[in-house]
Amino acid sequence: MSAAIEENWQRVVKFVQELLLDEEDGTVITPALISEKIDMVISMKSKWGENLDRESVIDELIRRNSQWIGQDTSLVSDVGHEDWLNSSRKQNWRYWQRYREWLEKKLSWKAIEALDKSSDSVLALLEDPARAGRWDRRGLVVGHVQSGKTGNYTGLICKAADAGYKIIIVLAGLHNNLRSQTQIRLEEGFLGYETLTDRDIKSLLGVGEIDSDKEIHPNCATNRSDKGDFSRRVARNLAVSPEERPWLFVVKKNKTVLRELLKWIQNHAADTNLAASHVLAESHDDLPKVKKIVTKLPLLIIDDEADHASVDTQEQVFDAEGNPDDEHLPTTINRLIRRILHSFSRSAYVGYTATPFANIFIHERGETRDEGPDLFPSSFIINLAAPSNYIGPSKVFGLMNQEGLRSGLPLVRLVDDYATEDGRNGWMPQQHKNGHRPIHNGTENLPPSIIKAIDSFVLACAVRRLDGQANEHCSMLVHVTRFNSVQKEVCRQVEEHIRHMRQRLHRNIEHEMILQRLKALWEEDFKPTSQAIRSIQPDQTSKGNVTWDDIQAALFDTISDIEIRMINGTAKDALDYDEHKGTGLKVIAIGGDKLARGLTLEGLCVSYFLRASKMYDTLMQMGRWFGYRPGYLDLCRLYTTEELSEWFGHIADAAEELREEFDLMVASGATPREYGLKVQSHPVLMVTSRLKMRAARDLLLSFSGKLLETVVFHKRTGILESNIAATLGLINSLGKPTEVNPERSTAKGKQRWNGFLWRDGVASQVIDFLEAYLTHPESYKVKSNLIAEFIRSMNDAGELNKWTVALIGGGDGGDFSLTKDIAVNMLIRKNNGRFDDRYSIGRLLSPRDEFIDTDAKTWEAALEKTQKAWKPDPARLREGKLQEPPEVPNGPAIREIRGYGANGIEPSRDRGLLLLYVLEPGQEGANLPEGTPPVVAFAVSFPGSNAGKQVLYKVNSVEWHQWEREYGPAE
C-alpha cells in the first residue's frame, strides 16, 4: 500500500468512525451500515475511493466498535493538594487537541475517550502549574505490560504543556535503543517534528502534520539518534526562560546523563539561591549539589518503567518513632532523580510501570537532607483499565477457576528439547555460562522446537501478507540467554537456517521436506487454533479464508523479507521500525536484557522464550508477547518451558488477587500508604527482587488478610505418610467435632459441606501441626514453618489465639479414614506438571470454603463489599462470556470482614481458620506412582489485622546465592 493510498484509507476510516457516532445503539453497526457510510464519505471526495480496500475498512471499524474499556481506579491522598482542573482551564488546549486528532487515525473513539478521561485524572491529581508557592506531588500509574502506557503519558505530557508545565523530563529506560524509541514516539505525539543531531527542524511528522503553528512549537533538548541523549555539549548551548514554550528532555537513567542534567539545572535554569541552612552539605559523592532552585518553571518528570533503576535499593534506617536517617546515602540514580526534583520549588513526579511492587516497597517516610523525600507515590496510585482487545497474562495463561482449570487462549507451546534430561548440557541448559556453545545432538544445529517456532513465524507472516497486512511490521522474539557471546552463536544458527530455507525454496531443490513440514504445522496447529480462538475473540483474528495453496505460493517472498537482528549492548543491529513504515519490518530479534524491558516489538507474532528468572516483576517485564494483536491474534505463538508457563500462571493469579484487594481499598477510601503496607505483605512477592524489597538479606513477611493454600506436594512416600501422621495428631488433639457436615444459610440459600468442623482449636495445636507438616521446597507461597512462626508473633499481639479447623471432603475420590469416626471422600486434583520431584495442582479449595466459619450476615456484608468494589475488566478472560457482577463474596472481602467487622458485625481477629483436605493419589490425572499414599493438603485463612506483625525470614549469603541461581539475578 503506497503512502497516498494509506493516507486515504486512514481518512475514510476516521470520517466513517465519526459518522457512526450518531448510532446510539452499537448493535446496529453492521458491515452493511459501514459500507453505506463509506459511500457517503467517498461522495464528498471521490479521490479517497481510488484503490480503497473497502473490506479492510469495514474489518477495522467492526473491530473498533467491538472494543470496550473498563474504568480506572485510584487511591488518592489530598494532603496539600488544591483542586484546579475544570472545563475553563481546558479551553484552547492545542497540544492535546492535535494529539487527539492524530490518534483518531488509528484508535476507536472509545479508546480515545478513555485516554482523555484517564490523562485528565492523572493531571488533576498534580498541582496547577500556575499555583504559587512550593508544592511537590508524587504518583504512580500502573498499567499492563505492553498495554499502551507510552500513549497514556504522551497524552498527559500534551495536557501538562497546555496547562503550563514548562520543563518536562522523561526518564526513558537504561538503554539507548529504548530512549530513542521513546523519543520517536514523543516526536509523533507531542513535538510534531523529527529531531536530528543539530536540533534543526527537518520534517514535520505525527501531530505536526495536523497543527504546525510555530506558536506552540515545543522545544527539545534531545534527539532521536543513538547518541542523542542529554550531554555536556548540549548543556553548553542551552538556555531557557519563563516566556518560552515548554522544553522536553528524553533521557536515560544513566549517572552521567542525569549528572549533566542536574548541573545544567543548577547553572542555567535555577534562579533563586537557597538559604544557607538548606544548601546540600558537601559529601564524599561526586554528584552536583542543590544550591539554587528553579521557581519560575514548573517541572513534570515522567518516569517510564519506574520500578527499574529509580528505586533506592540501599536499606534506610529508621528510629523508634519512624523518623528516617537524614544522612542515608541512596543509590546513585535514585539520588540524582530526587535532587532534580529538589531543585524545583514546584514539581510533579509520575512513575509509570506494569510491575509496581518495587515502588510500593519504598518506605513512605523515606527522606534525606540532600535529596528530600524518596519516590514513594504518596499522592496517588492509579490502576489503568485495559481495553477488551488487550492480550495480557490472564488471557494468555488464563485464571485458575475453583476446579483448578485454566481458561487461557491456546497460544502456548511447551518445549523440552533445549537441554538434556538432567538439564546440564544440550543446546541451551538453564545454568549455562558465558561462552557456551549451543549444540543439539552433538552438532551446532537448532533443536526441533525452535525450528517449529521459526516455521510458525513464517506461516504467520504469510497469512498476514495474504490478509492485506503485507506492509505491517511482523516480529519474532528469541530470548534464551543473557550472554552476548551465546546470543551471537544463536543468531548465526538462525541466520543459517533461514538462508537454507530461502535457497531451497528459490531453487526448488530439496524443498519438499520444508513444504511438508510447514503444511503439517498449518493443518495440525494453525487451522484448529484459529478456529478455537475465533470462537472466543472473533474481532481479533485473521480473516480465515487463506488456504495452504495460497500460503505455498507466498512462501518464497515471505521468507525473502525476513531479517535477523541481534539486539544487545554490543550489537550494531537495531529494530528500526520507523525506517520501514511503508513496507513493514519482518524481523527475528535475538537478544537478552535489552529485549526484557520497555522495548516494544512491533507486530510480535512468535516468541521463543527460555529465560529462567522466576522473579515476579522480572518475568512480567520479559513478557513482550503481551499487548495488542489486531487481526492476527490466532497466528501468535509462545514457545516456552512447562515451568515458566506454570510460573506465568502463578503471576496471573497473584495479579488477580492484588487487583481485587486494590479495588476493595479504593471502595473503602484507602490511601497509597495503606496499599503499600498491604502489598508489602503479599507472600507471592517472596519471589521478587530482595534488593527491591529493601532488605538484602532478611525478608519480613506478614500473612494478615491472606489465604495460603498448598498446591505443590512431595511425592516421596515417607514424607506423605509423615504429613498424614501430623494431621492425625491434630485431629486427635481436637477431640470430638463441633459439627458434622456443617451447613450455613445465605441469601442464595444453604451452603453445605461434607466433612467435620472443630471450633475449639487453639494456636498451639495448629502450630504443632504446621511444624510437623513438611511443605515442598517449591511451595514458594506456603512454607509451614514460617506460617507457624507468624502465628506465634500474632499471639504475642493477642490475636489468632483461637482456631476453627475444618476437614473437608465431598470429592469424587475414594474414602479415606483418619480414625474410625473421621472419614472423608478424597478430592480429585489433576497434576498440572510433569515434574519428577513434585505433584503440582492448580487450585486446592473452593472460594466458598472460607465462609465455613461465618454466618449469613457476614456473607451478605462481604458480598456487598465485593460487589461495590467490582468492576468489569476487559483484560481478564472469563471463558469468552460477558462479565457479570459476582454472586458470591470474594476471599479478600471475607477476610476483611472477619478482621475488621462491618454493618454491626464484630471483628474476630483472635480467630484463624485452618482447612484440611485429602487428595486422591490413584486418580489418572494425578499421575502419581502406584502405591502413593493419600496427599494431605491444607489452607490457612487469616483475618485482616492492623497488628503489623511480621515473621523474619533469615537468608544467609549461601541461601541468597542459591535464590539468585534459582530465581534469576536481581535487575
DSSP string, 322-345: --B-TT----HHHHHHHHHHHTBS
For 14-71, write each residue's pLDDT tens digit.
888 888 877 766 566 788 888 888 888 888 888 888 888 888 888 878 777 777 777 8
Q: How confident is the model at residue 965 (pLDDT cuts 50, 70, 90)?
A: very low
C-alpha cell belonging to residue 159: 495536557
In a domain, 691, yes or no: no
Give the C-alpha separation, 438 to 490, whole Å: 7
The DSSP 8-state label assigned to residue 576 in this structure reads -
* Residue ending a domain, choose from 323, 352, 383: 383
Q: What is the mean pLDDT of residues 729-749?
A: 91
Q: Residues 638, 744: one domain?
A: no
Q: Residues 135, 278: one domain?
A: yes
DSSP string, 847-882: GGGGGGGS-HHHHHHHHHHHHHH----TTS--TTPP
Domain count, the chain: 4
In a domain, 968, yes or no: no
Q: Residues 272, 341: one domain?
A: yes
Measure CA 793 to chain center: 33
Alpha helices in 67-148 (DSSP H): 94-103, 109-125
Do 464 and 470 meet the contact criterion of CB atoms below 8 Å apart? yes
Q: Residues 950, 853: one domain?
A: yes
In a domain, 618, yes or no: yes
Q: Residues 330, 440: one domain?
A: no
In whole angstroms, how far apart are CA 379 and each of 71, 81, 127, 969?
20, 9, 11, 32
DSSP string, 739-774: EES-EEEETTEEEE-SEEEEEEEEHHHHHHHHHHS-
CA atoms within 13 A on the CB side of 750: 5
- The rounded percent of the chain whose pLDDT value lies above 70 is 84
Residue 198: the pLDDT is 58
Q: What is the mean pLDDT of residues 568-576?
A: 63
* Residue ending a domain, choose from 383, 417, 449: 383
Dihedral sign, Cα of residue 667, residue 669, residue 674, residue 675: positive
Q: Residues 372, 406: one domain?
A: no
Chain mean pLDDT for the chain: 83
Q: How confident is the model at residue 888 (pLDDT cuts 50, 70, 90)?
A: confident
Q: Residues 110, 46: one domain?
A: no
Which comes out higher in pLDDT, residue 31 or 681?
A: 31
CATH code of the domain covering residue 244: 3.40.50.300
In a domain, 571, yes or no: yes
In a domain, 653, yes or no: no
- The rounded percent of the chain whose pLDDT value lies above 90 is 42
For 438-497, write each residue's pLDDT tens digit.
999 989 999 999 999 999 999 999 999 999 898 899 999 999 988 889 999 999 999 999
* Residue ending a domain, choose from 66, 91, 111: 66
Give the C-alpha separation, 14 to 17, whole Å: 5
Q: Which residue has the cell 483484560?
A: 875
pLDDT higher than 90, residue 176: no
Give residue 14's domain range: 3-66
Q: Residues 640, 711: one domain?
A: no
Q: Residues 56, 88: one domain?
A: no
Q: Residues 379, 511: one domain?
A: no
Do 930 and 691 meet the contact criterion of CB atoms below 8 Å apart? no
Give the C-alpha separation, 250 to 232, whole Å: 15
In whole angstroms, how far apart are CA 488 and each of 442, 448, 613, 751?
19, 19, 21, 61
Listed range (134-143, 392-401, 675-684, 747-756) with the worst mean pLDDT: 675-684
Q: Residues 115, 255: one domain?
A: yes
In a domain, 668, yes or no: no
For 606-653, write each residue's pLDDT tens digit.
999 986 555 666 666 666 778 888 899 999 999 998 878 877 777 777
In a domain, 963, yes or no: no
For 490-519, write each residue's pLDDT tens digit.
999 999 999 999 999 988 888 999 999 999
Q: Residues 307, 374: one domain?
A: yes
Which comes out higher in pLDDT, residue 810 or 965?
A: 810
